[in-house]
Amino acid sequence: MTHQPHPSTTRGVVELLAEHGFEGMAQAMELLLDECMKIERQEFLGVGPYQRGENRNGRANGFKPKRVRTRVGELNLAVPQVRDARFYPSALEKGVRSERALNLAMAEMYVQGVSTGKVTKIVEELCGCEVSSSEVSRVAAALDEELETWRNRPLGEIKYLIVDARYEKIREGGCVIDCAVLVAVGVDPTGHRSVLGVSVSLSEAEVHWREFFKSLLARGMHGVELITSDAHAGMAEARKACLPGVPWQRCQFHLQKNALDHAPTETLKQEVTEDLRGVFNAADAERAEQELRRVVAKHEQDAPKLAAWIDTNAREGLTVFRLPATHRKRLRTTNLLERLNRELKRRTRVATLFPNEASLLRLVTAVLMEQSEQWETGKRYVTF
């Protein structure tokens, strides 16, 4: 038994489109969907209106109003109800999926740093309906819950830990200030890398680093054999307190750049760069130490302050010689995180200025989560 559309429905749709054109699309869709849902219910029941039958599947039980957002605007529909049986129109199931897709689109705009007001305006243009700021905030809250779960996921054995910090602008108390973003990347025993965690705070001081390391350990991180980082303020004391005895590799790239600040002339800067490159590219720890002593002796006369700085700091870049030769190139710098930071910058510059710490944390977490998933399912970073 097939229920036929009521002639008045077809006539009503034609009249609406003839009189209002595209402006009447929403009302026309309401009429068509209501009629489609009535037909579907009738076929589900298995009998015609006011008919009885042994194979009857439930009973018609009126209609329930429902508002659905679509690309042609907001529709006010009458959803047919069925008593003593489970029924829901397939047309609305598709609508529910569309609504979820719309929510995800809004969440993605948030991830890309678009403000609430801009999101509202964009969605109105795309969907022809008004979306309140509270609705956008609700979607953001749902996204925050997902990101929070990822940030607090359990960790396991991590062979190598690479950490770095960068800064973004946020508004705090009516002022624009720098906010520190701490990121940790780990290499597990299978050789795969992943983003272990991220933390956002107005300070890069020791207390921020300490809490960050504690959070990684509380989530189960263990077995760390090497930490690679730059000489960030406060990080050294926090590292010693939370990960005592773990060897530290100071980023060789940043070491070379720091050394240039102590070279008195431009000519000497180029010379120092080449000298340190020779130290870091040595075949083993013994030859690296010999080369370092030669470089220090070379500059003791023409640049004693530079020589003293190299003698004190350069050895912090030689810890990586404890590792197998095939691992050294990967772990001697924070270049892995530098590339990740460039991706973060590409996304954060869309927002330019974040309204608060939570907004910044939302964006960087989403970007890092995506990158981590690619790494975890991709090629090994090192081979043990």
Examine the pLDDT at 266 and tell me if it is beyond 80: yes
Beta bridge partners of 160: 187, 226
Same domain, 81 and 136: no
Same domain, 146 and 76: no
Across the chain, mean pLDDT equals: 85
Same domain, 134 and 166: no
Same domain, 135 and 167: no
* Residue 119 included in any domain: yes
Report the C-alpha gap between 327 and 189 in whole angstroms: 13
Residue 311: both structure tokens together: 């003698």
* Pairwise pLDDT comparison (69 vs 377), residue with the higher score: 377
Residue with tokens 């689109």: 105
pLDDT of residue 110: 61
Q: What is the mean pLDDT of residues 7-28?
A: 77
Angle made by CA atoms 311, 316, 320, in degrees to the nearest 5: 130
Residue 88: both structure tokens together: 């829901």
Bin 158: left if φ > 0, else alpha if -120 < ψ < 50, else beta.
beta
Same domain, 134 and 212: no
pLDDT digits (tens, 9 = 90+) for 205-249: 899 999 999 999 999 999 999 999 999 888 999 999 999 999 999
Specify the length of the chain in residues.
Answer: 384
Number of other residues whose CB lies within 10 A of the CB of residue 138: 13
Number of alpha carbons in the 13 Å side-chain half-sphere of residue 142: 13
* Pairwise pLDDT comparison (103 vs 19), residue with the higher score: 19
* Pairwise pLDDT comparison (339 vs 162), residue with the higher score: 162
234 and 262 Cβ atoms separated by less than 8 Å: no
Same domain, 82 and 107: no
Closest CA to 242 of 219, 216, 223, 220: 216
Domain termination residue (choose one: 88, 111, 140):
88
pTM (2 d.p.): 0.71
* Residue 180 included in any domain: yes
* Residue 138 included in any domain: yes
Same domain, 198 and 231: yes
pLDDT of residue 149: 94
326 and 383 Cβ atoms separated by less than 8 Å: yes
* Pairwise pLDDT comparison (234 vs 53), residue with the higher score: 234
Same domain, 78 and 117: no
Examine the pLDDT at 52 and tell me if it is beyond 80: no
323 and 226 Cβ atoms separated by less than 8 Å: yes
Which of the four pLDDT bands, split at 50, 70 and 90, describes residue 60?
A: confident
Same domain, 71 and 220: no
pLDDT of residue 1: 46
Least confident of 72-76, 145-149, 276-280, 297-301: 72-76
Question: What total of structural domains would you count in the chain?
Answer: 3
* Residue 309 included in any domain: no
Same domain, 373 and 242: yes
Residues 49, 53, 57, 58, CA torsion sign: positive
Q: Edge-to-edge strand order for the sheet containing 160-172? A: 193-201, 175-187, 160-172, 226-229, 248-250
Q: Give the range of the structural domain holding residue 121, as residue numbers without chain letter.
A: 100-150
* Residue 274 included in any domain: no
* Residue 61 included in any domain: yes
**CATH of residue 187:** 3.30.420
Amino acid at 149: T
pLDDT digits (tens, 9 = 90+) for 314-338: 999 999 999 999 999 999 999 999 8
pLDDT of residue 4: 56
Residues 337, 338, 341, 346, CA torsion sign: negative
